[in-house]
Amino acid sequence: MYRSDSDNRRDVFRWMCALLILSLALLMLPAPLLAEAPADNRVSVAESGERAEWTEEGKEWYLAEGCTAGGFETWVLIQNPGEEEADVTLTFQGVEGLHRGPELKLPPGHRTTVNVAETCPDLWDVSTKITSSEPVISERAMYWNNRTGGHNSVGATSPSRVWYLAEGCTAGGFETWVLIQNPGEEEASVTLSYLGPDGSHPGPTISLPPGSRRSVNVADNSPGWWEISTKVTSDKPVIAARSMYWNGREGGHSSPGVTTPQEEWYLAEGCTEGGFETWVLIQNPGEEEAGVTLSFQGVEGLHTGPELKIPPGHRTTINVAETCPDWWDVSTKVVSDKPVIAERSMYFNERTGGHNSAGVTTPQEEWYLAEGCTAGGFETWVLMQNPGEEEASVTLSYLGPDGSHPGPTLSLPPGSRRSVNIADNSPGLWEISTKVTSDKPVIAERSTYWNGRSGGHNSPGRQRGETVIPDTTKVLNSSTLAELESVSSGGGTLTFKKSTGQLDSLLKGDVIVCGVTDNTPYGLLRKVTSKKTQGGKVIVDTEDGFLEEAVNRGTLNVEQNLNSDDLVSATALVDGVHIEDGGNSGGGLKFTVSEDIDLDGAKLSGSVTFEQEFDLNARIDFNPLRPWDPPSLEEMTFTTTTKEEANLKLSGEVPIEVKAEKEIVRYNFAPIIVPGLPVVVIPTVTVKLGANGKVSANMETNVTQKAEVTAGLSYTGGLWNTISGHKSEFSFDSPTLSADKASAKAYVKPQLSLLLYGIVGPYAGIEGYLSMYANPDANPWWRLYGGLKGDVGVELRVFSKVIASYSETVFDWKQVLAQAEGGEDDTGRIYWDGTELFPFNSGFTGDGGTSRSKVSPPEGHLYLHANSWYLSGCQVAWSTDDAVDLSGYDRLCVEWCNTGKSNGNNESHLIAATNSHDRQENQSTTDKLTRTSSFDRRVDHLDVSHINEPRYIRVHARDNDWWDAGTNSKLYVYRVWLEPVNR
């Protein structure tokens, strides 16, 4: 039978789109969903070795900075304030990976010092990880130039995916370095962004191998800035710190990053007398303007400081001497109506020396300071700030290699600050740590100087991170649970067969908590509203409880790799899929697909290996200076990572016309039970499969894919941040293609949800898709696209009754996987559905405009400055040469950022207009999306589903009063694209 070219094109395109729909559906499916599950085998994570705990901080410490080359010394200081001997192990991380460090025993009430060069000599980049059997305190001190310079930093107790560093300068001979440590077992993708007085600037993205450390010179991206802050985001937990040097490295200071913006900050140290300078640095990483007020505390009490407004995405600096000149002792309190970050930098001896510290957010009655020395020309001072309204009685005690030494007790009036010279009580000690205890909450820091104060360093104190459970929280004991007869639907009423001692003491307002039992398959977190006895039975009525009510202070960590051992139930809706038995217990899940799977004429076979993991971290805390404020959720992070490898074969002849979406599976994993105060977490998954297109196919091909996708959200101090990362490899046997104009898309949307006590909590859905477009009139005439979209949300009903739930698209990524021969690649032109939309290399002319200049694109993206093109005063960053037919498209999308001034005069527009070169916007029919002020790199969407005509697409920046945006706007456009209907 004779077949024309058009017939061949139609058949091949049918093949290709059927491949998309059928192969992708199985590529992305979690393996256990497609087979019968084993019997109920509930496990506690603690029993199976996974991490599920209320963390006792101080057993792990991370110190990102360190150097033992080029005249640098690095010392690690460890203080054991407890009553038990601590077994301590140090591990060092460099650019090339891990180095085993010393193991030592640290008696209670002692302090020790470790010289990093004894294990890792001549390393320019070295980080430290400390693990201990008992809670300890750790800092790191560094010296250089024969100890004319030095800095110090307290360690971090846990990695994070978001870090803030308020201080920084790359002008006037200053160097600023960001140090990033990856203590994990997986590569981390880390992105830096910078904030200054004029807004934000994009920084580099780097890959950080597991167990390694990297240094980033801020000046490489943002040279010549007097004021610059840094935000670090990562798809895997890392540690971030910052070091600064000046005057040819004559002086320097360092500070760890901060994970949580707050509305109150305390800075105990400060001096504006005797050649000292004190500067307060405030970073606003949020999306709203912050109203900030400073107040200063000295020996004689409070002094009112300046009030200022800090735009979103900006940093500002305050010279304390402008309010409090010639003060030997001055502390600072920063209060803001929006969450911010605060640090303090000090310089002395005509800036031969200096030191820096991040602020602390909560006064405490106990502080620990690991570093200190009163021998060899060293001075060590402890600085104490009382921000409260009552006098505090403060006692210091000192710990050295030989044990503890008593220190002074002093009275600290409300709103005042005092300095204590440790040498007054303990002179001539090379190693000395400090413990500060007080009957009222205070702030404590330590400053150390040497060589006649040519150098110095400083660090805030740390607390022991113990979990605090109030007396009103009642964890039901075994005797009480044995009497539990029933729980009503919804958990509102609990009926006990008879009373127990614990039930006798139960009061209205108490919070009841328990783990998994036959009557409580999801656990319980309930607040008592009433209690009565009826017929010998005890009936307790309750309402929803919250973790903020059950815990005053604590950090919850749940980390789980979901595998076959944890599976409780699964319902599969696809026949012919089988779990492979043997040798796979506790590991990744593998299933095979037999050739008898018939999908409308297509046959599918092959195998898929699948792994999924998630992390859930939450920190609850309270401010002891505000007993009227209840404990609140301060931080929460939820991430999920999916890894899969698939090898599939598709063959057959398939006519297909489809536009559908359906749920194909639902399954449950075993409850994860956090011991102590029981928290019950149950992972569940639902999966939907969808496709749209009209194609048919003759085909036989092999498909291989490897993918790793991370998606998540982080809540810190009132701010939400997205977490994302993706790697994908895709290959298949390419056919000889020809086809009529057509299109098709297939996608699968698995969603992981965590049930907390049976209530929906965090969830994450990842849509993976393949799509193909063909047009015989275009060049290239066909293209195959692959994409990933991640949506994450957090329902906070269990965590907080104050904070609203939140959801966000954390990434929306698409790239060309393959195309017909002879077409230009994406560095020259972009085609969408066969239409050349965005000619990267062509300039614009008209209406007096000048030709657009082109800047080298980073990482393959287009990178244009708004000031490079003027069109009748309107600054165009990107525009199509011709009108684009928007019929059949749903959304016009742009990935962009604006690093200009954050004020009402800075606007960014995404426009679909009937005319291309208008002097005034109202001369054309226009649909537009507008963002006011500066903003970080993000994706925005404009609804164009109602437009059924050609439109010119452009992106521009403008002044609110004039088209000429002048110096207000710096607009960067990375990509623009259209999404079809039923995407």
pLDDT at 940: 82
Tell whether 748 is covered by a domain. Answer: no
Kindly write down the DSSP assignment for every residue of 244-278, as one continuous string.
EEETTTTEEEEEE-BS--EEEEEE-----STT-EE
Q: Are residues 506 and 621 in the same domain?
A: no
Distance in angstroms (rounded) separating the CA atoms of residues 785 and 923: 37
Does 971 have pLDDT greater than 70?
no
Of the candidates 498, 522, 550, which is a domain's last residue?
Answer: 550
Distance in angstroms (rounded) separating the CA atoms of residues 400 and 603: 74
Does 437 have pLDDT greater than 90?
yes
Of 80-89, 151-160, 624-633, 853-862, the least confident:
853-862
**Of the ranges 25-34, 338-347, 448-457, the best mean pLDDT one:** 338-347
Query: In terms of residues, how long is the chain?
Result: 983
Cis status, amide bond into 780, omega within 30 of 0? yes
Kindly write down the DSSP assignment for every residue of 213-236, as one continuous string.
EEEEEGGGTSTT-SS-EEEEEEEE
Contact 193, 203 (CB under 8 A): yes
Mean pLDDT of the chain: 78
Q: How wide is the angle at C-alpha 971 spanned by C-alphas 970 and 972, nearest 5°?
A: 125
Residue 376 structure tokens: 């060899």
Q: Are residues 865 and 800 in the same domain?
A: no
pLDDT at 911: 76
Q: How wide is the angle at C-alpha 730 spanned by C-alphas 724 and 734, nearest 5°?
A: 155
Does 104 have pLDDT greater than 90?
yes
Of 109-113, 322-326, 715-719, 948-952, the least confident:
948-952
Place of tokens 């500070």: 255
Does 465 have pLDDT greater than 90?
no
Kindly write down the DSSP assignment for every residue of 300-323, as one continuous string.
TEEEEEEEEEE-TTEEEEEEGGGT
What CATH number is attached to the domain comprising 482? Answer: 2.40.240
- Give the pLDDT mean for 41-66: 70
Give pLDDT tens digits for 215-265: 999 999 889 999 999 999 999 999 999 999 999 888 999 999 999 899 999
pLDDT band at 385 (very low <50, low <70, confident <90, very high): very high
Q: Is 51 exposed, middle or buried (0-12, 13-18, 19+ CB in 10 A)?
A: middle
pLDDT at 954: 76
Contact 182, 208 (CB under 8 A): yes
Tell whether 632 is covered by a domain. Answer: no
Q: Are residues 76 and 162 in the same domain?
A: yes
Contact 682, 42 (CB under 8 A): no
Q: Are residues 179 and 119 in the same domain?
A: yes
- Give the pLDDT mean for 904-929: 62
Give pLDDT tens digits for 826-884: 333 333 333 333 333 223 332 323 333 333 333 333 323 323 333 333 344 556 656 77
pLDDT band at 7 (very low <50, low <70, confident <90, very high): very low
pLDDT band at 978 (very low <50, low <70, confident <90, very high): confident
- Give the pLDDT mean for 182-202: 87
**Domain carrying residue 188:** 60-460
Distance in angstroms (rounded) separating the CA atoms of residues 544 and 528: 9
pLDDT band at 733 (very low <50, low <70, confident <90, very high): low
Does 439 have pLDDT greater than 80?
yes
Q: Are residues 240 and 98 in the same domain?
A: yes
Of 186-200, 296-310, 455-469, 833-847, the least confident:
833-847
pLDDT at 915: 63
pLDDT at 630: 86
Instruction: Answer with the residue of higher pLDDT: 819 or 137.
Output: 137
Give pLDDT tens digits for 333-361: 999 999 999 999 999 988 888 999 999 99
Q: Are residues 886 and 962 in the same domain?
A: yes
Distance in angstroms (rounded) separating the CA atoms of residues 67 and 126: 6
Does 739 have pLDDT greater than 80?
no
The strand pair at 759-774 and 742-756 is best described as antiparallel
Give pLDDT tens digits for 391-400: 999 999 998 8
Distance in angstroms (rounded) separating the CA atoms of residues 746 and 17: 8
pLDDT at 603: 56
pLDDT band at 12 (very low <50, low <70, confident <90, very high): very low
- Give the pLDDT mean for 933-945: 77
At residue 555, what are phi and psi to the nearest 5 degrees?
-125, 120
Q: Are residues 410 and 367 in the same domain?
A: yes
Tell whether 468 is covered by a domain. Answer: no
Q: Are residues 272 and 310 in the same domain?
A: yes
- Give the pLDDT mean for 548-559: 91
pLDDT band at 605 (very low <50, low <70, confident <90, very high): low
Give pLDDT tens digits for 474-533: 999 999 999 999 999 888 899 999 999 999 999 999 999 999 999 999 999 999 999 999
pLDDT at 972: 66
Residue 168 structure tokens: 């920084």
Query: In whole angstroms, how large is the CA radius of gyration of the chain?
Result: 31
Q: Are residues 36 and 127 in the same domain?
A: no
**Cβ contacts of 461 within 8 Å, gap of 6 or more:** 154, 360, 367, 368, 369, 436, 443, 444, 445, 446
pLDDT band at 382 (very low <50, low <70, confident <90, very high): very high
Instruction: Answer with the residue of higher pLDDT: 359 or 802.
Output: 359
Distance in angstroms (rounded) separating the CA atoms of residues 719 and 258: 13
Query: Looking at the 3D structure of the chain, how many domains does it have?
Result: 4
Does 98 have pLDDT greater than 80?
yes
Residue 670 structure tokens: 């075993």
Tell whether 563 is covered by a domain. Answer: yes
Percentage of residues of the chain with pLDDT beyond 90: 43
In angstroms, what CA-CA distances link 283 with 228, 287, 971?
9, 12, 22
Does 308 have pLDDT greater than 60?
yes
Distance in angstroms (rounded) separating the CA atoms of residues 926 and 670: 54
pLDDT band at 892 (very low <50, low <70, confident <90, very high): confident
pLDDT at 22: 45
pLDDT at 722: 86
Of the candidates 775, 798, 819, which is a domain's last residue?
Answer: 819
Q: Which residues pair with 26 in a beta bridge?
A: none
Q: Are residues 214 and 328 in the same domain?
A: yes
Instruction: Answer with the residue of higher pLDDT: 350 or 886.
Output: 350
pLDDT at 823: 43
pLDDT band at 422 (very low <50, low <70, confident <90, very high): very high
Kindly write down the DSSP assignment for every residue of 870-920, as one continuous string.
EETTEEEEEE-SS-EE-TTEEEEEEEEEE-S--STT-EEEEEEES-SS-SS
Q: Are residues 406 and 543 in the same domain?
A: no
pLDDT band at 300 (very low <50, low <70, confident <90, very high): confident
Tell whether 743 is covered by a domain. Answer: no
Instruction: Answer with the residue of higher pLDDT: 383 or 566.
Output: 383
Q: Is 818 exposed, middle or buried (0-12, 13-18, 19+ CB in 10 A)?
A: middle
Of 302-306, 321-325, 600-604, 823-827, the least confident:
823-827
Percentage of residues of the chain with pLDDT beyond 70: 71
Q: Are residues 791 and 889 in the same domain?
A: no
Tell whether 759 is covered by a domain. Answer: no
Tell whether 778 is covered by a domain. Answer: no
Tell whether 777 is covered by a domain. Answer: no
**Of the ranges 299-303, 589-593, 731-735, 771-775, the best mean pLDDT one:** 299-303
What CATH number is attached to the domain comprising 913? Answer: 2.60.120
285 half-sphere exposure, CB direction, 13 A CA radius:
31
